[in-house]
Amino acid sequence: MSNTVLITGASGGIGKELATVFASHGHDLILTARNRHRLDALCKALHMRYGIRATAIPADLSEDGAAERLVRDIEHRGLQVDILVNNAGFGDHCLFAESDSGKQEAMIRLNVLALTSLTRAVLPAMMRRRRGRVLNVASIASFLPGPYMAVYYATKAYVLSLSQALAAELKPYGITVTALCPGLVDTGFEKTADLEKTALFKTLPVSDPAAVAKYGYRITMCGNSVGVHGIPYKAMAFASRLAPRDLLARIILSIQSGRRSISISKRSDRYE
């Protein structure tokens, strides 16, 4: 039976690759993100290549009520969501006390509120059908405190916690909830998060988004509640359970401190 998959953040990066892997397995798609042009092009390409039905619905999910509007729009088109993939998200590398509060709030609205509202909106119909799947894109950051990306890491801890709780709550209804926890992935994330000034992506292993998406598809269809992608990151998630959290915070602080830019940064004294 063909299932329709709603994927947020499908215009690039991991979301685009998730759309491709779901389409390659014969799923119809509803793709959303802000960039209409990229969504239309991807829908067309996936329809041509795999013969699936793909619908683009552009939306800025960080806006108030955007998730509810999206679900109403889907219903008006006579479509149903069998699998929800909450992938849209972004980070921001900065000293929290000097952060752009508008950007931090938009991050919380996208990474936390939109994901929560979309999940809440699609679950009642899935429960009536007694089947459905939710894939939430969390992160290795879900397991760690993240100095210089404090809000981002906290949003991802929320995503993991919510996903694990809902996985248990929804099991009797035949619905699976999966948290995909990638390590670093080669997407637009590094630039959007202003991480290019740090050594982060030069220090730790960086995965291919297509490999992350294939892994995410597999664990979703198996109904696993949590999956960390990549052996080094699996080891890191395991170690995070054993090490004291203030030690973890100090390690992340040193990795994310922006050392590559110390000599040119106006704030180098604060990063040292």
Ligand X SMILES: NC(=O)c1ccc[n+]([C@@H]2O[C@H](COP(=O)([O-])OP(=O)(O)OC[C@H]3O[C@@H](n4cnc5c(N)ncnc54)[C@H](OP(=O)(O)O)[C@@H]3O)[C@@H](O)[C@H]2O)c1
Query: Catalytic annotation on 152?
Result: yes
Q: Which is nearer to ligand X, 141 or 167 (CB)?
A: 141
Nearer to ligand X, 63 or 173 (CB): 63
The residue with tokens 């894109």 is 137
Helices (H), 26-81: 36-50, 66-76
Of the candidates 165, 164, 146, which has an alpha carbon nearest to the alpha carbon of residue 155?
146
Respond yes or no: is residue 156 known to be catalytic.
yes
Q: DSSP code of 256?
A: T
> What's phi and psi for 62, nearest 5 deg?
-85, -5
**What is the distance between the alpha carbons of residues 194 and 190, in angstroms, rounded to a whole number?**
6
Residue of closest CB approach to ligand X: 13
Residue 90 or 173 having the CB closest to ligand X: 90
| Residues of the shown chain interacting with ligand X in the complex, contacts defined by CB under 6 A | 9-15, 33-35, 60-62, 87-90, 110, 137, 139, 182, 184-185, 187-189, 192
Minimum distance of ligand X from residue 156's CB (angstroms): 7
Contact status, residue 194 vs residue 172, Cβ threshold 8 Å: no
Instruction: Assess contact for 42 and 11: CB atoms under 8 A.
Output: yes
Smaller CB separation from ligand X, 44 or 130: 44
Q: Which two tokens stand for residue 71?
A: 């679900």
Q: Nearest approach, Cβ of 3 to ligand X (angstroms)?
A: 21
- Catalytic residue among 16, 148, 153, 156, which? 156
Interacting residues of 167 by C-beta distance below 8 A, sequence separation 6+: 176, 177, 178, 225
Q: Which of 16, 148, 152, 158 is catalytic?
A: 152
Among 74, 73, 71, 93, residue whose Cα is nearest residue 28: 74
Of 173 and 228, CB closest to ligand X: 228
* Shortest Å, Cβ 133 to ligand X: 18
Q: What are the residue numbers of the active site?
A: 152, 156
